[in-house]
Amino acid sequence: MPDTLNTSIADVLNSAPWQPLELHLNKLKERIDASLNASHALRVKYRKELLADNPDLVNKISRPSESSLQLAQNAFKSGIIAASDGTVSPVPLLAGSKIQVGVVIVSSRGDVVDLVTRVFETELISNAKTAREYFSNLRNARSISNLLSRAIMLFGERKLLFDHYADWRFIHGELIPHELRTGAGKPAKNLPLTFELMYKYIESKNFIAVSEASDDIDILNAAILLQPGEYIVIRSLQDSLNTFLYGDSDTGQAAANFIDSDKKRFREFIASAGPKVAVVLVKAGIKPFLIECHVDKIEEAVSMFLIDALWVRGLAVDGSDFSIRGFPFHIDLADQVARTLFKGSDFRNLVETCLYECGIEAGLFDIDPRRLRG
């Protein structure tokens, strides 16, 4: 099998030529098994190489103390813990785009759990004085509509959660996700708004941003060093944002495309806020997760993460019980409620029904042609 990163399409196809379905299925399982076994073996080998190159790495692995875990349990018993999650339901139309954003906040004190729902619905294009201006604006907006829709949802999740009183707040995803880092098409207007909110979180100190997935292969492989209940500080938010701003030639990540004034604003935020947030790799169960928390609250934040991911679900806080997911309960609950109450298909069907009420021609013209397939 050739190195697909350094070969042409023709080389790849020659090494694995097109086949009839019957021949393809004959030994499909064997090929998949061989690929997975090779990947697992390389991960174990990577662990050995990692330890050989960094013998002090094991000493950086920590586990929260019993007293920290007990304090976290007490916080869940008597304090207010809140988490938020949201969904965005865009309905692309030839003449515009409707979006609905739903956010759910789960808040608990002891055995009492409250749910708060908020819904936002708008059009991405509005306020045009003429039809020509409307469609001109539409052409410009289409290139960033997905980015803008998600940025609205992510900012809304974080803003509504911060405005909700809580002793500790759980954020789903990175503290500053990619969509908010870019400024969603208008960094001069959107970055100051984002940075202002982030400063509030950092000043509060009691926050945990939990990412379910990471595209950093080195970090995911390094997680093999951890046992359930353990954690290791990977880097600071300053490191993450510098990579976003300036790019990384080793990984092929391009630098952010900012004009000088926006780049200056971003550098200032990195310098003042970046060192105050730690990025931590933690395991509650089999799967590792990245969390971001205040540098002064690392052990507390990891303890809160473990309590919500394990103890709240009735599992041992030391990670000794088998846990398939090992993810904070409050975020999972907010996610489940949001996906149930704010189904994208329901909103889309309503918009399409209203279109057809305008007339069959209007409905058929505006609806995405792929939706009309049999």
pLDDT digits (tens, 9 = 90+) for 248-307: 887 778 899 999 999 999 999 999 999 999 999 999 988 889 999 999 999 999 999 999
Q: Across the chain, what does the average pLDDT equal?
A: 86
Return the closest-CA partner of residue 211 out of 124, 292, 133, 95. 292
Q: Using alpha carbons, list the distances in angstroms from residue 23 to 1, 2, 26, 340.
A: 19, 21, 5, 42
Task: Write down the pTM of the prediction.
Answer: 0.85
Q: Using alpha carbons, list the distances in angstroms from residue 13 to 18, 303, 332, 346.
A: 7, 50, 42, 42
| pLDDT for 100 | 86
CB 99 within 8 A of CB 158: no
Q: Using alpha carbons, list the distances in angstroms from residue 27 to 22, 128, 133.
A: 10, 59, 58
The residues, any chain, with a CB within 8 Å of residue 8's CB and separated by 6 or more, are none
| pLDDT for 221 | 67
% of the chain exceeding 90 in pLDDT:
52
The residues, any chain, with a CB within 8 Å of residue 5's CB and separated by 6 or more, are none
| pLDDT for 173 | 95
For 335, the 3-state DSSP assignment is helix
Tokens 């609806």 found at: 367
Q: What share of the chain is helix, strand, coil (3-state, %, to 5)?
A: 55, 20, 25
CB 290 within 8 A of CB 215: no
| Length, in residues, of the chain | 374
Identify each DSSP E strand in the chain by its residue range: 80-93, 96-109, 112-123, 168-172, 207-211, 231-236, 277-283, 288-294
CB 238 within 8 A of CB 278: no
| pLDDT for 63 | 95
- pLDDT digit string (tens) for the chain, length 374 residues: 555 556 788 887 787 778 899 988 998 999 899 999 998 888 778 878 877 887 787 888 999 999 999 999 999 999 999 999 999 887 766 556 678 899 999 999 988 999 999 988 777 665 666 766 666 666 655 555 778 889 999 999 999 999 999 999 999 999 999 999 999 888 999 999 999 999 999 999 999 999 986 666 667 666 778 889 999 999 999 999 999 999 988 777 889 999 999 999 999 999 999 999 999 999 998 888 999 999 999 999 999 999 999 999 999 888 777 777 889 999 999 999 999 998 878 887 887 787 777 776 666 666 767 777 76
Region label for 364, one of left (φ > 0), alpha (ψ between -120 and 50) or beta (otherwise):
alpha
DSSP string, 259-326: -HHHHHHHHHHHHHHGGGEEEEEEESSSSEEEEEEEGGGHHHHHHHHHHHHTGGGT--TTS-S--S--
Tokens 């507390």 found at: 300
| pLDDT for 233 | 93
Helix axes 187-204, 145-163, angle to 10 degrees: 30
CB 87 within 8 A of CB 157: no
pLDDT in tens, 51-93: 788 778 788 899 999 999 999 999 999 999 999 999 988 776 6
